[in-house]
Structure 1
Amino acid sequence: MPLLPILLVAVYGLCLLFILGFSLGQWELTRLGRRAHQAPPPPLPPVPAVWPRVTVQLPLYNEQNVVERVIDATAALDYPADLLHIQVLDDSNDATVDLAAARVAHHAARGLRISHVRRPNREGYKAGALRHGLEETDGEFIAIFDADFVPEADFLRRTIPFFLQDEQVGVVQTRWGHLNENESLLTRLQAFGLDAHFLIEQVGRTFAGFFLNFNGTGGVWRRACIDDAGGWHTDTLTEDLDLSYRAQLRGWRFVYRPEIVAPAELPAVMDALKSQQFRWTKGAAETAHKHLGPVWRSGQPLAVKLQASFHLLNSSVYVVIMLMALLSVPLVFVRAQFAEYKVVFQLASVFLFGFTPLVYYYYSAWRLAHPDKPLWRYPGFFLLFLSVSMGLALHNARAVILGWLGRRTPFVRTPKAGTAPAARRRRYRTGGVGPLVALEGLLAAYFAFGWGAGVYFHDFGLLPFHTLLTVGFAAIFYYSVRHAR
C-alpha cells in the first residue's frame, strides 16, 4: 500500500479517536447531569433580613431593536430601590443612544437609580465596558444582561441569597430561556443545542464539582470575586470564560441554578448566528491557549484538570470534524482501490460508534426541555442538528485556528431583532456572500460527489457521513445567501 493512502487512513483514524474521546466526555457529563436531576433538590437559602447593594450592568452596542425592552425589564426588577443601581453601558453610535437616553430619563424620573454610561471609545469591547462600569458603581454584586435578555422581576431575589449563605460563592449562573424558539428552523436548532449545555453540561459539571463557566449574561458576580481574579481582561473574545477560569483557579465557587430561567432572544438569521459562533469558538480557543497551562499546574484533582481540558478544548472539535470531512471523500477511493486492507477500514469504522454518546447526551436534554413531545420526533431532529452543526465546521474551524494562532480580531456583536420591522433588522447585518460562503457551497457539492462515489463503488460505509455533510453545508450555504438579501 503506498505511503499516501496509509497516511490518509492514519490521520482519519486519529480524528476518529479524538471524536471518541470528545463523545465519552459528553457521555460522562450526561451521566452526571442525569444523576443530578434525579437527586433531591438542595434546600434553598434563607431570605436575608438585609439585602446587599446590587448593580445591574447592560452592555450595549447598536441595539435599537431591543434596547428599550431590556432597560424596561431591568427597571421592573423587584428589589429595594435604594440598593439597586442599573448601568446602561452604551457604546453605540446610532439611534440606540437616543432611545437608551430616553428610557433612562424616564426611569430616573420615577426615582430609580439608573445611569447612562458613555465611553469616549469602544476599547476592549464588552469586557472594556464592564470594567469601565465597575469604576462608577458601589454594588457588592454585579448582575449582567446582554441586550437580548428579558429577566423576570424576581431574578435578583432568587439569586442573591446564594451568595449570602456562602462567602466563597463568586458567581450564580442561571439557565437561558428562549423567547423566539419557534420562530424558525434555525432558532429551534439553536435552542436544541443550548438546552443540552444548560440542562446537562452545566448541571453535570456542578454536580461533580468540575469547573464551569459564567455564560456572559443571565448571571450575577460577587464584586470581590471579579477584583480578586484580576478583573475583566480584553485579550480573548470570551471574557466570561476567561474570568471564570481565573476565579475558579483562585478558589472561588460557582453556583448554577437551572430552575431559574433568564429568557433571551436567539439569532434568527445566519449572519447573526455565524458572528456569535465565531466569537464563542475563537474565544474558547484563545482561553484554552491562556489557561491550559495554569490548570495543569494548579493543585486541582486530576478529574477536575481533565474535565477542564475537555471544556477548554471543546471548540477544537470543529477542526477535527473539518479534517475528517475533507479526508472522507478520497478515503472512498482508497477503500475501493485497496480491497485487501478491508479489515483495516472495518476496524476504523468501529470508532464511528463514538458518535453514539452524543445521541444520549442530546436526547437527555431534549427530554428534559420537552417532556411532552413524542419520542419519534427526536431522531430526525437530532440528525438535522448534527448535520447543520457539521455544516458550520468550516466557519468555526477557521475561528478556532485563528484563536490558537493568537490572531486578534474585533468583537463582532450578535445582532438582535426584537420586534423591529424587516428594514430595521437589515441595518445590523454583519456579513454577506463572501469567499467563505462560496466555499461552503462548493463543499456541499464536494461531499455530494463523495456520496455518489460511495454508491458507484457499492461502498456504503461513509454514506451516512457524506449525507449529513452534504445536507449540512448546503443548509448553511442556503441560509447564508438567503439572509444576505
Structure 2
Amino acid sequence: MECQRWGSKGINIKYEVRDNRNGYKAGALKEGLKHSYVKQCDFVAIFDADFQPEPDFLWHTIPFLVHNPQLSLVQARWKYVNADECLLTRLQEMSLDYHFSAEQEVGSSTHAFFGFNGTAGVWRIAAIEEAGGWKDRTTVEDMDLAVRASLKGWKFLFLGSVKVKNELPSTLKAYRYQQHRWSCGPANLFRKMCMEIARNKKVSLWKKVHVIYSFFFVRKVVAHIVTFVFYIVVLPATVLVPEVVVPKWGAVYIPAIITILNAVGTPRSLHLLVFWILFENVMSLHRAKATFIGLLEAGRVNEWIVTEKLGDAFKLKSATKAFKKHRMRLGDRIHLLEFAAGAYLFFCGCYDIAFGNNHYFLYLFIQAFAFLIVGFGYVGTFVPNS
C-alpha cells in the first residue's frame, strides 16, 4: 500500500515478492537483481526487514561510490532501538559495538578486508556481477560475496557516521538461532573457500594470509573454540587434575585485557562487564558446536531460521496477559547442553572447595549459575510459543 501511494505520485517504485524460499536470502537477492529495471541502476541498497534507514541515507553513502570507481561497498553502522529492553539486548550491544569499532572501522581505515554485514549497506552492482553474484552455498551469503569481491580487487568502506536503526533479538530462542547461523556459516565458508583463496594467483601472499588466517581461522573458528575449551573445559579440569597448572597471566591477566578492550566500545555498559563475560562463556558452548557443524558440514549446516524480532507486538496488553499466564511453563525453555555444562562446573567448584587450593570455585560457581540460568531459559524476553 505504501509503494502504491508513492507510485501514484509519479515515483519510480516497485514492490516485488517471491513465491518460494529457494536459496533463502541469497536466493531473494539474486532474484531481485534479475528484474529488467535493475539494468538501469548502478547501485543496490540492502536492508533487513527491521532496519529503518534515515531519509538522507543515500545522500551520505552514494557519493563515495560515485567518486571512487574502485569502491564496491559502503557499509553503515547499526543503531539499536531496543538496546535497553533487557539484559540480553544490552550484552548484544556490547559485542556488536566492538565488532563495528574494532573490526570494521579499523579494517576500513587500514584498507584491509572486512566482511559485509548483510544489511545497511550499498553495493555497486558491477562488483556483485564480477564477483559471481549471490551464492546460497552457505548461510552467510553476505560474507561469501564480500570475500569474492575482495579477491577481485574491489575495496570496501565502513561509514561509522551513518547509523541505521534496527532491532536486536530479545528472546533467547531467537538469539541462539542467530548465533548458530553466524558461527556455523563462516566456518562452513572457510572450509569451502580456503583452497580457493590459497590457489588464487592474482592475490598477494599477504592478502591470502590476512583473509585465511586472521579473518577466517582466528576470528571465525579459533575464537569460538578456544573460549569454550579454555573456560569451560580446561580451567575446570585443572581442579580435577592438579598436575595441570594454568599461569595467572593466562587465567586472569590476558582474559581481563581482552574483556576490557571488548567493552571500551560501549562505555555506558562497563558495569555489566561481569555479566558479559559469563554470558559470552555460556554462548561459547553454542558457538563452538555450530563452528564444528560448519567445519564438518554436519546436519544443521544449512539451517536457515529467520531471526525473530518482536517489534511492538509484545507491548500489547494481550501479549502481556499471555506472558503472565504462561511464564512459569519450563518445558519449552530447558536447554540440556547448558544445563549439563552448569552441572559439570558446579561439581568442579564443589571439588575445588574440598580438595583444591587455587580458589577457582569462586569463578566456577558463578559460571555454573550463569549456565543454569540460560539452561532454564531465564534470559531475555520470554514470549509464549515464540
Tell me which residue corresponds to 2:220.
315
Aligned-pair CA distance for 1:363: 3.4
Tell me which residue corresponds to 2:68.
166
1:124 aligns with 2:34: no
Tell me which residue corresponds to 2:327.
none
Cα 1:110–1:463 shift into 2, 3 Å: farther
1:329 aligns with 2:236: yes
- Note the 1:100-115 alignment, pairs <5 A: 102-115=1-14
Aligned-pair CA distance for 1:434: 6.6
1:255 aligns with 2:157: yes
Aligned-pair CA distance for 1:183: 0.9
SS in 2 for 1:180: coil
Tell me which residue corresponds to 1:472.
370
Tell me which residue corresponds to 1:302.
206
1:226 aligns with 2:117: no
Tell me which residue corresponds to 1:454.
352
For residues 308 and 141 of structure 2, the distance between their equivalents in structure 1, rounded to whole angstroms, comes to 19
For residues 355 and 211 of structure 2, the distance between their equivalents in structure 1, rounded to whole angstroms, comes to 42
SS in 1 for 2:241: helix
Aligned-pair CA distance for 1:354: 3.1
Whether contact under 8 Å (2:114, 2:156) holds in the other structure is yes
Cα 1:237–1:346 shift into 2, 3 Å: closer
- Residue identity in the other structure for 2:259: V
- Residue identity in the other structure for 1:294: E
Tell me which residue corresponds to 1:394.
285
- Residue identity in the other structure for 1:323: V
Whether contact under 8 Å (2:94, 2:263) holds in the other structure is no
1:271 aligns with 2:164: no
Aligned residues: 362
SS in 2 for 1:167: coil
Cα 1:406–1:435 shift into 2, 3 Å: farther
Aligned-pair CA distance for 1:327: 4.0
2:311 to 399, 411, 418: 418
1:366 aligns with 2:366: no
For residues 125 and 163 of structure 1, the distance between their equivalents in structure 2, rounded to whole angstroms, comes to 28
Tell me which residue corresponds to 2:341.
443
For residues 383 and 290 of structure 1, the distance between their equivalents in structure 2, rounded to whole angstroms, comes to 37
Aligned-pair CA distance for 1:355: 1.5
Tell me which residue corresponds to 1:409.
302
- Residue identity in the other structure for 1:203: E
- Note the 1:193-232 alignment, pairs <5 A: 193-232=95-134
Q: Deviations over 1:305-335 (max 9, x none)?
A: 2365232232323233333313443431211
Q: Deviations over 1:91-120 (max 9, x none)?
A: xxxxxxxxxxx3333332333333222223
Cα 1:328–1:357 shift into 2, 3 Å: closer
1:285 to 187, 211, 215: 187
Q: Deviations over 1:182-235 (max 9, x none)?
A: 111111111111001112211111222221011000000000000000000001
Structure 2 portions without partners, runs of 5+: 323-329
SS in 1 for 2:239: helix
For residues 131 and 206 of structure 1, the distance between their equivalents in structure 2, rounded to whole angstroms, comes to 26
Whether contact under 8 Å (1:362, 1:382) holds in the other structure is no
For residues 228 and 66 of structure 2, the distance between their equivalents in structure 1, rounded to whole angstroms, comes to 47
Aligned-pair CA distance for 1:469: 2.9
Whether contact under 8 Å (2:259, 2:277) holds in the other structure is no
Give TM-score, length-normalised by structure 1: 0.69
Tell me which residue corresponds to 1:85.
none
- Residue identity in the other structure for 1:395: H
Whether contact under 8 Å (1:210, 1:304) holds in the other structure is no
Q: Deviations over 1:291-315 (max 9, x none)?
A: 2333334433537623652322323
- Residue identity in the other structure for 1:450: C
Aligned-pair CA distance for 1:346: 4.9
Give TM-score, length-normalised by structure 2: 0.86
SS in 1 for 2:313: coil
2:34 to 105, 123, 135: 135
For residues 182 and 25 of structure 2, the distance between their equivalents in structure 1, rounded to whole angstroms, comes to 14
Calculate percent identity across the aligned residue pairs: 30
For residues 468 and 145 of structure 1, the distance between their equivalents in structure 2, rounded to whole angstroms, comes to 39
RMSD: 2.5
For residues 319 and 146 of structure 2, the distance between their equivalents in structure 1, rounded to whole angstroms, comes to 35
